[in-house]
Structure 1
Amino acid sequence: MDIVLGIGTLLVVLLAMTLFLNFAPYGKQGLQALSGAACATLLPQAFLSYALGQIFHISLLQDIGDLAGSLSGVAVGILTCLNLGISPVFAVIVGLVLKDFQLLPAFIAAYFISFALKYIERKVPEGLDLIVVILIAPTLTFLIAKLISPGVIAVLHQIGSAVTAVGNNNPYALAVVLGLIIPVTGMTPLSSMVLASLLNLTGTPMAIGAITCMGASFVNFVLFRELKIGGPSKAFAVAIEPLTQIEIIAKYPLQLYGSNAIIGVVNALIVTFSGLVLNAPGMATPIAGPIVLFGFNKPLNIVITLVIVAIVSVILSLIIGKIISRSHLSHINLKPSELKKQVN
């Protein structure tokens, strides 16, 4: 029952984010703001607090990293408003009142208040609009976040607990699911980092997220070269951060998503067997995640696992790339109208 509940809730969250991306007004811009806020707050916390601060016992870096991590509500409030075309001053007014809220409740509040701000900008004369925004936006934003926060956090905690329960009862079953989902999600505006942070993944599931994302970097680099997608600079860019090449990736969904899903499962099983853990949530990212692992595990075990995953990723992606090329499947892509719809 735990397996069904954990996997089911994980898929529901992924489906909800996909529906938001494709059908909600400014859905893509909203998820880009969510992803950007996670990068701007969770990544500094990971590098400065968990990696450098804890490993080298530098309290100053720990304090700075924890400060950055505590401001995710402010970051997502500001970025959401900016991505939806709101004035920077108005965006800051909204973001500041979200200081004490977590990432998702703050995002929801900022997303909805942005439409009210758009209306004010259109209808209220310039100069007077600032006064109206000050009188309305901070209070309304705070109340929305305050109202929805308990329910949202409770649901996320329940999902995280269910996923953790699956990992405790059948870790390899969970590894298969996470190996399929996380590397592929990292190649979409949904962002694997946001998914991992929302679910509050920790322990082995978070280690799977971090290392499968690292493996996906090798996979994408090799496939871009083997399938002659873009030039060397594109291959390097997609290895560092897949989201920078999202429009190119969208042209080759079967080749890139399919390959990453297959190899992601293999890598997830390797990580599960290694016993590595990562107790910093949101680290499903190819560079920061593996580095932060050193704050929670024995270095030799980490290095051995990372080397194995890198080698496996390169070998399997070379094999799959050559199969795709020799089967003349490398140029199968979406029709222009379908591609335009997906990118939009």
Structure 2
Amino acid sequence: MEILKGILLLLISLTAFSVFSLKAPNGQKAMGGLANAAVATFLVEALHRFISGGILGIKFLENLGEVVGGMGGVASGSLVLLALGVSPVYAVAVGVALSGMGILEGFIVGYSISFLIPVIEKYIPEGIDTIVGVVVLAPLGRFVAEAISPLVSVTLNNLGGMIIEASNQSPIFMGLVLGGLIKMVCTSPLSSMALTAILGLKGAPMGIASVACFGGAFANGITFYRMGYGDRNRTISMMLEPLTQAHIVTLNPVPIFTSSFAGGALAGLSAVFFGIVSDAPGTASPIPGLLTPFAFNPVMNVIPAMLLAMLGGIAGGYVVSSIFKAMEERKLVAKQA
């Protein structure tokens, strides 16, 4: 039951983010702001707090990473508002008022307040509107964040806890499913970094997610190359940061997402086999996924895990691309006949 609950709740959260992105007013722009907030905070934290500080021993960078990692609410509140076209002074005023809040609380506050700002600008005289807006929006944003924070924390802690428990009870199955799903999210317009940060994944599930994003990148690269979706530069960009090729992914979703799931699932198995764990939420992306595990695992576990994950991604991409290439060839032959 724990395994089923974990998978079901993960699918519900993915569906909710997808529906919001596609159906909510300016949903894709808001999700873009959330993704950028995850990069601006959790990526910096992962690389400097755990790698530069934890492994290399550079105390200044370790402290920097720790400080930046606690600014998720500030970053998401500000960047969501900026993505929605709000004046920078309003965005920063609301954002800094969310110090100490989580990235999801910042996202909710930023998106909600974006609908109030046009009203202020419409009914308050120009010049005065900026003063009134800053004075009103900062405490309002903080009030909303503190009001929703207990519910958000309980919900996400329960969800993250169920996924962790499911991974502990059935690591192989969760390696396949979680690795495949997280890599699909990594390839989609959603942000796998934001998702894993919001869920607060740690331990084995975060290890699976990190390794899956790295290994699955090779599945995407093989698929791009063999299916002719772009030149070498586009293929490399797809492997390093899938969001840069979102327009191509949108045009060819079935083969790309299928290869993402296959490569991510096989890479997830590699993480399980070598016992890779990670206590750095929000590092589910190819480059952080490669580097962060070194901070929490023996080097002689991480290196073979990454090599096997890479081979799994290549195998998944090759098999899936071969299937879709054969289907295209059959369609071409049928048309010619």
Residues 255 and 330 in structure 1, CA contact (< 8 A), matched pair in contact too: no
Identity percentage of aligned residues: 34
* Letter of the 1:181 counterpart: L
Inter-partner Cα distance in structure 1 for 2:38 and 2:316: 31
* Letter of the 2:132 counterpart: V
* Letter of the 1:150 counterpart: P
> For structure 1, which segment, 101-110 or 311-320, has the greater mean C-alpha deviation from structure 2 after superposition?
311-320
Kindly indicate whether residue 30 of structure 2 is the aligned counterpart of residue 16 of structure 1.
no
* Letter of the 1:128 counterpart: I
Give the aligned partner of residue 175 of structure 1: 175
> For structure 1, which segment, 34-43 or 110-119, has the greater mean C-alpha deviation from structure 2 after superposition?
110-119
* Letter of the 1:163 counterpart: I
Give the aligned partner of residue 302 of structure 1: 302
Deviation at 1:331, TM superposition (A): 9.4
Residue correspondence of structure 1 range 172-251 to structure 2 within 5 A: 172-251=172-251
Give the aligned partner of residue 284 of structure 2: 284
Residues 211 and 290 in structure 2, CA contact (< 8 A), matched pair in contact too: yes
- Identify unmatched segments of 5+ residues in structure 2: 333-337
> For structure 1, which segment, 227-236 or 169-178, has the greater mean C-alpha deviation from structure 2 after superposition?
169-178
Residue correspondence of structure 1 range 99-138 to structure 2 within 5 A: 99-138=99-138
Inter-partner Cα distance in structure 2 for 1:329 and 1:90: 55
Give the aligned partner of residue 335 of structure 2: none
Deviation at 1:57, TM superposition (A): 1.9
Give the aligned partner of residue 274 of structure 2: 274
Deviation at 1:206, TM superposition (A): 0.7
Inter-partner Cα distance in structure 1 for 2:12 and 2:285: 22
Deviation at 1:66, TM superposition (A): 0.7
Give the aligned partner of residue 75 of structure 2: 75
Describe the superposition over 1:43-73 as per-residue Cα deviations: whole angstroms up to 9, x where unpaired. Answer: 1111111011001222111101111111111
> For structure 1, which segment, 123-132 or 243-252, has the greater mean C-alpha deviation from structure 2 after superposition?
123-132
Inter-partner Cα distance in structure 1 for 2:231 and 2:113: 42
Residues 216 and 267 in structure 2, CA contact (< 8 A), matched pair in contact too: no
Residues 263 and 316 in structure 1, CA contact (< 8 A), matched pair in contact too: yes
- Please, what is the CA RMSD of the aligned residues? 1.6
Residues 21 and 31 in structure 2, CA contact (< 8 A), matched pair in contact too: yes
With over 3 angstroms needed to count, the CA separation of the structure-2 counterparts of 1:184 and 1:57, relative to structure 1, is: same
Describe the superposition over 1:274-308 as per-residue Cα deviations: whole angstroms up to 9, x where unpaired. Answer: 11111111111100122111111111111111111
Deviation at 1:163, TM superposition (A): 0.8
Inter-partner Cα distance in structure 1 for 2:209 and 2:52: 21
Describe the superposition over 1:149-181 as per-residue Cα deviations: whole angstroms up to 9, x where unpaired. Answer: 110011000101111111111112222221221
With over 3 angstroms needed to count, the CA separation of the structure-2 counterparts of 1:184 and 1:329, relative to structure 1, is: farther
Deviation at 1:323, TM superposition (A): 2.9
TM-score by length of 2: 0.95
TM-score by length of 1: 0.93
Inter-partner Cα distance in structure 1 for 2:289 and 2:122: 43
Inter-partner Cα distance in structure 1 for 2:121 and 2:89: 12
Residues 227 and 330 in structure 1, CA contact (< 8 A), matched pair in contact too: no
With over 3 angstroms needed to count, the CA separation of the structure-2 counterparts of 1:243 and 1:331, relative to structure 1, is: farther
Give the aligned partner of residue 159 of structure 2: 159
Give the aligned partner of residue 147 of structure 1: 147
Deviation at 1:329, TM superposition (A): 6.7
Describe the superposition over 1:168-218 as per-residue Cα deviations: whole angstroms up to 9, x where unpaired. Answer: 111122222212210110112221111111111111111111111111211
Inter-partner Cα distance in structure 2 for 1:123 and 1:264: 51
- Identify unmatched segments of 5+ residues in structure 1: 333-344
Give the aligned partner of residue 255 of structure 1: 255
Residues 77 and 95 in structure 1, CA contact (< 8 A), matched pair in contact too: yes
With over 3 angstroms needed to count, the CA separation of the structure-2 counterparts of 1:320 and 1:74, relative to structure 1, is: same
Inter-partner Cα distance in structure 2 for 1:254 and 1:96: 41
* Letter of the 2:293 counterpart: L
With over 3 angstroms needed to count, the CA separation of the structure-2 counterparts of 1:222 and 1:331, relative to structure 1, is: farther
Inter-partner Cα distance in structure 2 for 1:38 and 1:180: 21
Runs of 4+ displaced beyond 3 Å: 329-332
Deviation at 1:101, TM superposition (A): 0.4
Residues 258 and 320 in structure 2, CA contact (< 8 A), matched pair in contact too: no
Kindly indicate whether residue 310 of structure 2 is the aligned counterpart of residue 326 of structure 1.
no
Residues 268 and 309 in structure 2, CA contact (< 8 A), matched pair in contact too: no
Residues 227 and 325 in structure 2, CA contact (< 8 A), matched pair in contact too: yes
Describe the superposition over 1:67-112 as per-residue Cα deviations: whole angstroms up to 9, x where unpaired. Answer: 1111111111110111111011111111110111010011101110
Residues 104 and 198 in structure 2, CA contact (< 8 A), matched pair in contact too: yes
Residues 218 and 263 in structure 2, CA contact (< 8 A), matched pair in contact too: no
